[in-house]
């Protein structure tokens, strides 16, 4: 990405025709992806939007009528704003910790692992070989009141005698961190691995201590990975409900739990749809602000 040369200026009409013909073919490659997006994203989103405006007095047996009932959104936000806040706080903490843990890991794999590089990458991906649900369930065992971790923490007196790990915000956030760690590590690795080691040598030749060299050269060059990793972690984490469901209690429920319950238990489709769209909108806004802040300039 960093070394893309500016497109050469066309030298004549013949060249012009040539490029536009080539471009025409290039667009064709987008068709499958576009079709996929249209069928599985655009169409369901429109459907979801319409559902969110149904008259809430209907029910799923007798059906709903579309009455453009925008008050659904007001109701949804009024009743669940604290869940939104909690979701973003949990997801934010989880993303920050993933970055703090994932960056050194990705750095070590990219620069220090040598011939163990591929093996270590496999280890990073290894959790995916087991289902998400199963792994979260086993965390329940690990964090259980009589489990080894809680026992140990009680022994060294960090955890009080009646203290719990399970069913606390800590457990939910730990679950999020664990489950989304690879989504942070892999993009970080991909951009760190591309950093030319000779640039680091050059920075040290130009009076940068290892720390300054990292701050001025390595880190800025890894920013695309930081942006990709944080987005890939934060977005799914803020909509997650499995971790809160399994490792928490209703006191730790996130907005995802509410949406899930509204859709699948209460069958209150207008509420579920308006919550989903509100979540989507807030996340998109946050992403836009974030990407603007970090600056596309840095992402050459």
Partner 1 sequence: MVETNQDLHLEDLTKRFGDFAAVRDLSLTVPNGSFFALLGPSGCGKTTTLRMVAGLEDPTAGRIRMGDQDITALRPYKRPVNTVFQSYALFPHLTIFENVAFGLRRRGIKDYRQKTLDMIELVQLGPYAGRKPAQLSGGQQQRVALGRALINEPGVLLLDEPLGALDLKLRRQMQIELKRIQTEIEVTFVHVTHDQEEAMTMADTIAVMNHGVIEQMGAPGELYENPVTTFVANFLGQSNLIMTDIIDGAGAEVMVDCQGQKIGVSSERSHAKGRKAWLGIRPEKIFASHAHEAERTDSNVLTGGRISDVSFVGVSTQYLVAMPWDQELMVFEQNTGRRPLFENGDEVDLSWSSEHAFLLDADQDAHAGMMRPEDRE
Site residues for partner 1 per CB under 8 A: 2-6, 196, 198-199, 201-209, 212-213, 216-217, 220-221, 298, 300
Cβ closest to partner 1, residue 168 vs residue 204: 204
Cβ closest to partner 1, residue 25 vs residue 207: 207
Report in angstroms how near the CB of residue 232 gets to partner 1 at its nearest: 22
For residue 278, give the nearest of 49, 47, 92, 46 by alpha carbon.
49
CA–CA gap between residue 98 and residue 188 (Å, rounded): 11
- The tokens for 257 are 């739990």
CA–CA gap between residue 31 and residue 183 (Å, rounded): 27
**Site of tokens 């405006």:** 53
Q: How far is CA 66 from CA 52, 251, 287, in A?
A: 9, 34, 31
Cβ closest to partner 1, residue 162 vs residue 297: 297
Report in angstroms how near the CB of residue 23 gets to partner 1 at its nearest: 22
- Count CB atoms within 10 A of the CB of residue 225: 25
Report in angstroms how near the CB of residue 96 gets to partner 1 at its nearest: 24
Alpha helix locations (H) across 109-254?
117-125, 132-142, 148-155, 169-193, 197-205, 210-213, 219-239, 242-247
DSSP annotation of 156? T
Measured between its terminal Cα atoms, the distance across the chain in Å is: 7
CA–CA gap between residue 51 and residue 272 (Å, rounded): 9
Report in angstroms how near the CB of residue 214 gets to partner 1 at its nearest: 13
Cβ closest to partner 1, residue 137 vs residue 199: 199
- The tokens for 265 are 């238990």
Cβ closest to partner 1, residue 219 vs residue 263: 219
Cβ closest to partner 1, residue 16 vs residue 298: 298
Report in angstroms how near the CB of residue 116 gets to partner 1 at its nearest: 20
Report in angstroms how near the CB of residue 210 gets to partner 1 at its nearest: 8
């Amino acid at each position: 990405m960093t070394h893309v040369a500016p497109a050469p200026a066309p030298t004549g009409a013949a060249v012009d025709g040539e490029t536009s013909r080539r471009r025409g073919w290039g667009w064709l490659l987008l068709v499958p992806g576009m079709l996929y997006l249209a069928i599985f994203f655009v169409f369901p989103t429109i459907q979801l939007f319409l559902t969110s405006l149904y008259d809430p007095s209907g029910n799923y047996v007798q059906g709903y009528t579309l009455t453009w009932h925008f008050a659904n959104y007001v109701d949804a936000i009024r009743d669940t704003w604290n869940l939104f806040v909690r979701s973003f706080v949990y997801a934010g903490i989880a993303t920050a910790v993933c970055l703090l843990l994932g960056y050194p890991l990705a750095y070590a794999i990219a620069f220090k692992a040598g011939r163990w590089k591929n093996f270590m990458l496999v280890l990073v991906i290894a959790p995916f070989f087991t289902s998400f649900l199963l792994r979260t369930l086993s965390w329940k065992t690990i964090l259980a009141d009589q489990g080894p971790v809680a026992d140990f923490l009680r022994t060294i007196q960090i955890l009080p005698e009646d203290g719990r790990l399970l069913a606390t915000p800590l457990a939910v956030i730990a679950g999020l961190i664990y489950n989304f760690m690879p989504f942070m590590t892999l993009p970080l690795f991909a951009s760190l691995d591309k950093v030319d080691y000779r640039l680091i040598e050059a920075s040290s030749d130009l009076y940068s201590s290892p720390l300054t060299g990292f701050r001025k050269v390595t880190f800025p060059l890894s920013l695309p990975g930081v942006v990709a990793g944080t987005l890939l972690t934060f977005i799914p984490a803020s909509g997650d409900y499995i971790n809160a469901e399994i490792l928490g209690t209703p006191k730790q429920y996130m907005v995802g739990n509410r949406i899930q319950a509204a859709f699948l238990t209460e069958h209150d489709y207008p509420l579920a749809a308006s919550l989903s769209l509100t979540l989507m909108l807030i996340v998109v806004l946050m992403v836009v602000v974030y990407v603007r802040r970090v600056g596309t300039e840095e992402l050459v």
